[in-house]
Chains A and B, each alone.
Chain A
Amino acid sequence: MKHIDLVIIGGGPAGMSAAIAAYESGIRNLLILERDTHLGGILQQCIHNGFGLHRFGEELTGPEYAWRYEARVRELGIPYKLGTMVLDITPDKVVTATNSEEGIFQIQAKAVILAMGCRERAKGALNIAGSRPAGIYSAGTAQKYVNLKGYLPGKNVVILGSGDIGLIMARRMTLEGAKVHAVCELMPYSGGLARNIEQCLNDFGIPLRLSHTVVDIHGKERLEGVTIAKVDENRRPIPETREYIPCDTLLLSVGLIPENELSKTASVSLDRITGGASVDQGRCTDVEGIYACGNVLHVHDLVDYVSEEAEIAGKSAAAYIKGETGERINVTLRTDGKIRYTVPQRITQKGDVTVFFRVADVYRNATVKVKNGDAVVLSRKKVKMAPGEMESLTLKASLLEGVSELLFALEVE
Chain B
Amino acid sequence: MIRELTCIVCPKGCALRVELEGKDVKSVTGHTCPRGQKYAEDECTHPMRTVTSTVRTSTGEVVAVKTATAIPKEKMVACMEAINRAVAQVPVTIGDVVIENVADTGVAVVAAANLEI
Contacts and interface: CB of A to CB of B under 8 A. Distances in A.
29 contacts: A47-B54, A47-B66, A47-B112, A48-B52, A49-B50, A49-B52, A59-B50, A61-B112, A62-B64, A63-B64, A63-B94, A63-B112, A63-B113, A63-B114, A147-B54, A147-B62, A147-B64, A149-B62, A150-B61, A175-B53, A194-B15, A195-B6, A195-B8, A195-B10, A197-B6, A198-B6, A203-B73, A301-B11, A302-B11
Nearest to B112: A61
B53 A150 contact: no
Given A47-B113, A147-B64, 4 more contacts: A53-B11, A61-B113, A193-B11, A194-B15
Interface of B: 5-11, 13, 15, 49-54, 56, 61-62, 64, 66, 73, 76, 80, 94, 112-114
What secondary structure prevails in chain A residues at the interface with B?
Answer: helix
A88 to B, nearest CB: 32
A199 B64 CA distance: 19
Contacts of A147: 54, 62, 64
Among B9, B53, B94, B113, residue most surrounded by chain A Cβ atoms (within 10 Å)? B113
Contacts, number: 74
Closest 9 CB pairs of A and B: A194-B13, A63-B113, A150-B62, A47-B64, A195-B8, A61-B112, A198-B6, A195-B13, A194-B6
Interface string A147-173: 111100000000000000000000010
Nearest to B65: A47
B66 A49 contact: yes
Contacts of A150: 54, 56, 61-62
A50 interface: yes
B64 A61 contact: yes
A303 to B, nearest CB: 11
B112 A64 contact: yes
Interface string A37-75: 000000010011110010000010111100100000000
A35 to B, nearest CB: 20
B64 A50 contact: no
A5 B109 CA distance: 44
Given A64-B113, A193-B11, A175 B64 contact: no
B10 to A, nearest CB: 5
A198 B14 CA distance: 11
B113 A195 contact: no
